[in-house]
Structure 1
Amino acid sequence: MHYTETQTAIINRFKKPHISNLDKIPESEIPYWICSCGKILPSKNMTCPDCSATSPRPMCPLDTLDVPTTIEATLITCPLCNEFIHPGNGSHDVTVRSRVTGYLADVTNFNAGKLDELKNRQKNDF
């Protein structure tokens, strides 16, 4: 994954291994906020125009907002927020599926332990 100079500076200032660091980043450095309905907002102090919610959560400053349309065989995690990202463009808007004993499963329902196990799995090519 290739990061811009600005993104690299943010990573170097706030990165801690295996910890989500969004709460340590000043609000002034968070470019976008996301509402519970999925609408992206430019400010924390904005009411969502779609659902009228008033408390959006911060989005990772490394998110490119460029939604991928490809299927990738590899998983990488964001060095800042430790969430799965698209390996080609860094988008955080990805759906991760896990294949266990022949079944495909969406990992959004995995608990924290199962997600850590998925992130630490050894990848092999056969």
Structure 2
Amino acid sequence: MYAINPSTERLHLNERTGLLKLALETGADIVPIYCFGNTDTFKLTKGCKSLQPIARLFRTALLLFYGRFGLPVSFEVPLLYVIGKALRLPKIRHPSTQDIEAAQKQYLAAVQRIFNTYKGLYGWQHKSLEIV
């Protein structure tokens, strides 16, 4: 739950399909975006692992984080937002699970492509993106 690795960026998107379902129902485009540097705006304290049992019980993330001066004020780090090309999705009144999975596959591939293309520009050549 609190696996933070300096060589890996982790996105929790595999089980989040509600937005894609809504986009399919309405025929809206989905625009993939990635923000480089957002994981450096705050630091986690070392004691977070002791909160895992409680977090699992309540099915939520309990984090003790800090920023500048030990306060919940973010560190000043440059952020690079990359906005990908809009994904045109068909309008399907009642999308099936297969329709949603196909749209999700398309979206996740676009996010991965953005990360791999622009990570060097941000100085993250050593990092990889893990989508879970």
Q: TM-score range by the shorter chain?
A: under 0.3
Q: Which one has the largest radius of gyration?
A: 2
Which gives a bigger RCO, structure 1 or 2 (Cα 8 Å, sep 6+)? 2
If the length of structure 2 is used for normalisation, what is the TM-score?
A: 0.23
Normalized per residue, the structure richer in helix is 2
If the length of structure 1 is used for normalisation, what is the TM-score?
A: 0.24
